[in-house]
């Protein structure tokens, strides 16, 4: 039987645009997808830059106004890779135009925006139009395998949840200003940029939602040079002594404790000032019967402790998650040949395209993204009230 074609229009082409594009290109080359993928057009404000991106990423055409993508009959899905301040306007308009939507995380910059997006996504379902929020760490094979162990009851009742996301790309006080340091475009700093991943991943793993938090936020460097500004993750760039500086209006680090609605308690830390840590996305879950631990800087491995083993044999077991029986892995390389960061975006495409072809809601949904946004808002509220306990 001939496959239908899913025609993709992407908005934004920087760091996330590159990551999403390789996912769209690679998914049909390694997985037997139910639909063909066509990279139809990419949109960006700078005509020369977006043309170069289209050539590099494999998109057939370009637009300099994202609204033009929504008006085209030859686009079925809008992939939003813009800063957070544009997510709500684009996503709501795209859903109302009958386009499926994939939107980068966090879903929005505010709870109000996220509520509008989630409501638009619920309305669109009646027309068989679906939306998904891009929390790609769910698609890391090691974490997906940890999810299987938890769902199979191997950890028993969950008691403790620990999450850390540590980076160091902002540790230099003279690193240039980027949009990620401006609240009007990014919504928050380390909290939303990387802390949102911790919130989503731990709730997904445990099957429990965070119900309350006590938090603090800290900004270590309150201004940065405007010269040499970059639009990606940041970096030192070229700055001159005495260059004008812009105000940093977001947090550099976020710490909070949490309660989950299933009875577990949690502790969370997100920082872009942890010198020496490049992408230390760490999760540990402790239950009555076992524990599991993961660190993305060793992303093909989980450590599993089985409390039901004889005491004389107990200890954390290092499991290399590269066997064909592990989630997603059978489509890739022989055992021991590990996967990387980019594969999560490929697996995201696989899951999204499969859900769309089967006419079912892909996950995480916009409602899931809204719930994460509510936790982010509770963290900010608590931090602004001297770490007062704040319900989600």
pLDDT for 1 equals: 54
Q: What angle do CA 304, 309, 314 make, to 5 degrees?
A: 65
Q: Which residues contact 362 (CB under 8 A, 6 or more apart)?
A: 130, 131, 132, 351, 352, 355, 356
Helical H runs in the chain? 15-30, 47-57, 66-71, 87-96, 111-125, 141-151, 183-186, 190, 196-206, 343-358, 366-384
Nearest to 108 by CA among 323, 372, 314: 372
Nearest to 316 by CA among 301, 338, 336, 332: 301
pLDDT for 234 equals: 41
Q: What angle do CA 258, 261, 264 make, to 5 degrees?
A: 55
pLDDT for 243 equals: 78
> Measured between alpha carbons, how far is 122 from 116 in angstroms, rounded to an integer?
10
SS3 category, 77:
strand
> Measured between alpha carbons, how far is 351 from 349 in angstroms, rounded to an integer?
6
Nearest to 34 by CA among 361, 362, 356: 356
The DSSP result for 270-319, as a single string, is: EES--TT-SSEEEEEEEESSEEEEEEGGGTTEEEEEETTS-GGG-SPEEE
pLDDT for 236 equals: 42
Q: Where are the domains of the chain?
A: 4-137, 140-333+372-391
- Homologous superfamily of the 4-137 domain (CATH): NAD(P)-binding Rossmann-like Domain (3.40.50.720)
- All residue ranges of the chain with pLDDT < 50 are 229-240
Determine the distance from the C-alpha atom of residue 192 to the mean position of all C-alpha atoms in its chain, rounded to a whole number.
10
Examine residue 305 and say whether the peptide bond preceding it is cis (omega within 30 degrees of 0). no
CA-to-CA dists, residue 18 to 75, 141, 232, 381, angstroms: 19, 21, 11, 34
Nearest to 116 by CA among 366, 361, 362: 366
pLDDT for 129 equals: 98
Nearest to 378 by CA among 195, 162, 221: 195
Please tell me the chain's helix, strand, coil percentages from 3-state DSSP, rounded to the nearest 5: 35, 25, 40
pLDDT for 54 equals: 98
Contact status, residue 135 vs residue 200, Cβ threshold 8 Å: yes
pLDDT for 51 equals: 98
- Homologous superfamily of the 140-333+372-391 domain (CATH): Dihydrodipicolinate Reductase; domain 2 (3.30.360.10)
Nearest to 139 by CA among 244, 23, 226: 23
> Measured between alpha carbons, how far is 117 from 93 in angstroms, rounded to an integer?
9
The dihedral built from the CA positions of residue 368, 373, 374 and 375, taken in this order, carries a sign that is positive
Percent with pLDDT over 90 in the chain? 95
Contact status, residue 251 vs residue 124, Cβ threshold 8 Å: no
Fill in the DSSP letter of residue 173. Answer: T
């Amino acid at each position: 039987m001939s496959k239908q074609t899913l025609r993709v229009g992407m908005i934004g082409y920087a760091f996330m645009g590159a990551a999403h594009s390789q996912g769209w290109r690679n998914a049909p080359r390694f997985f037997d997808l139910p639909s063909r993928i066509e990279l139809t057009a990419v949109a960006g404000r700078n005509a020369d830059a977006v043309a170069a991106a289209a050539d590099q990423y494999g998109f057939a055409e370009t637009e300099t106004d994202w609204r033009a993508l929504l008006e085209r009959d030859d686009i079925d899905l809008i992939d939003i890779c813009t800063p957070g301040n544009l997510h709500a306007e684009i996503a709501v308009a795209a859903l109302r135009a009958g386009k499926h939507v994939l939107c980068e995380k966090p879903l929005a910059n505010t709870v109000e925006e996220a509520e509008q997006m989630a409501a638009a996504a619920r309305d669109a379902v009646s027309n068989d139009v679906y939306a998904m929020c891009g929390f790609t760490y769910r698609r890391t094979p090691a974490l997906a395998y940890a999810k299987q162990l938890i769902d199979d009851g191997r950890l028993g009742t969950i008691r403790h949840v620990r999450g850390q996301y540590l980076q160091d790309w902002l540790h230099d006080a003279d690193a240039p200003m980027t949009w990620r340091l401006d609240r009007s475009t990014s919504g928050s700093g380390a909290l939303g940029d990387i802390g949102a991943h911790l919130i989503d991943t731990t709730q997904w793993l445990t099957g429990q939602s965070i119900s309350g938090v006590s938090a603090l936020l800290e900004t270590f460097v309150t201004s940065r040079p405007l010269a040499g500004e970059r639009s990606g993750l940041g970096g030192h760039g070229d700055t001159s002594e005495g260059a004008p500086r812009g105000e940093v209006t977001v947090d550099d680090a976020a710490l909070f404790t949490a309660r989950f609605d299933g009875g577990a308690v949690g502790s969370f830390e997100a920082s872009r000032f942890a010198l020496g840590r490049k992408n230390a996305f760490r999760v540990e879950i402790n239950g009555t019967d076992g524990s599991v631990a993961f660190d993305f800087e060793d992303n093909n491995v989980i450590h599993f402790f089985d409390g039901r083993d004889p005491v004389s044999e107990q200890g954390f077991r290092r499991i290399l998650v590269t066997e064909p029986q592990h989630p997603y892995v059978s489509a890739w390389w022989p055992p021991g040949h590990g996967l990387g960061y980019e594969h999560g975006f490929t697996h995201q495409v696989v899951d999204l395209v499969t859900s769309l072809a089967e006419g079912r809601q892909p996950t995480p949904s916009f409602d899931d993204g809204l719930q994460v946004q509510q936790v982010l808002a509770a963290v900010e509220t608590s931090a602004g009230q001297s770490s007062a306990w704040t319900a989600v």
